[in-house]
Structure 1
Amino acid sequence: MNAVTAWVALFAAGGLEILFAVGLKSATRFDRPWVLAGTIASLLCSLSLLTFSLRHLPVGSAYAVWTGIGAVGTAIVGMVLLGESASALRLLCIGLIVMGVVGLKSLH
């Protein structure tokens, strides 16, 4: 495995982190076991890919990118699909998270 593969795995892990977080919202009542199972599966796959990527990436950068993708992606899904606020201040804060993640990745 090389660094490019590690970054691809990390971005995939971040995408699965979004599914996990949104799945938690959908599985809160435990009345749909398949949603809960998918949520748990996405968490396990996300953690596995994160672990895989840490073989070649610094933990601080990788963890920040993983959580950043999860936070930004989940916020966007919340706004687009769940009717959460898309205020200018919230969008600015999302932009700041993206800037931080890009900065940490570029300093790697």
Structure 2
Amino acid sequence: MPWFLISVAGLLEVVWALAMKQSQGFTRIGPTAIMVVGMIGSFWLLALAMRSLPLGTAYTVWTGIGAVGGFLVGITILGEPVTPLRLLAAGLIVAGIVTMKLAS
């Protein structure tokens, strides 16, 4: 169950990061509200997962999911560039997440 919680928490991190981008500096109420709710949900699920998972593992996986998810959302939704070096960086983050899972 903690791995499910940390996964959903990481996905919510992507949601709030995208909403923050869409809020245009907190000038748009809808995206700002989504960002706040996403942050609260993400942190709450992270805290629940940390009841069972070590801090280093939980935080690394949570931020890794957020980073790679943000990268993918940037490419697919926001039209950000795809370069070999950016793909390599994302792949290394995924490798780190998998390694943390295996090490737990």
The question of a shared fold, defined as TM-score above 0.5 by the shorter chain, is answered with yes
Within the candidate set 64, 68, 76, 2:72 is matched to 76
Report the equivalent of 1:102. Answer: 98
Q: What are structure 1's unaligned runs of at least 5 residues?
A: none
> Does residue 64 of structure 1 match 2:30?
no
In the TM superposition, structure 1's runs of 4+ consecutive aligned residues that sit over 3 Å from their partners are none
- Please report the RMSD computed on the Cα atoms of aligned residues, expressed in angstroms: 0.8
Q: Per the alignment, in what secondary structure is the counterpart of residue 28 of structure 1?
A: coil
> Does residue 50 of structure 1 match 2:31?
no
Instruction: Map Cα deviations across residues 7-66 of structure 1 (whole Å, 9 max, x no partner).
Output: 101100000000011111101243320110011100000000000000001010010000
Letter in 2 for 1:44: I
Query: How many percent identity over aligned positions?
Result: 42
Distance in structure 2 (CA, Å) of the matches to 1:83 and 1:55: 38
Letter in 1 for 2:50: L
Within the candidate set 12, 17, 27, 2:23 is matched to 27
Indicate if the aligned counterparts of 2:20 and 2:26 stay in contact, CA closer than 8 A: no
Distance in structure 2 (CA, Å) of the matches to 1:14 and 1:31: 25
Q: What are structure 2's unaligned runs of at least 5 residues?
A: none
Distance in structure 1 (CA, Å) of the matches to 2:90 and 2:32: 27
Distance in structure 2 (CA, Å) of the matches to 1:57 and 1:29: 34
| TM, length-normalised to structure 1 | 0.93
Within the candidate set 2, 9, 12, 2:8 is matched to 12
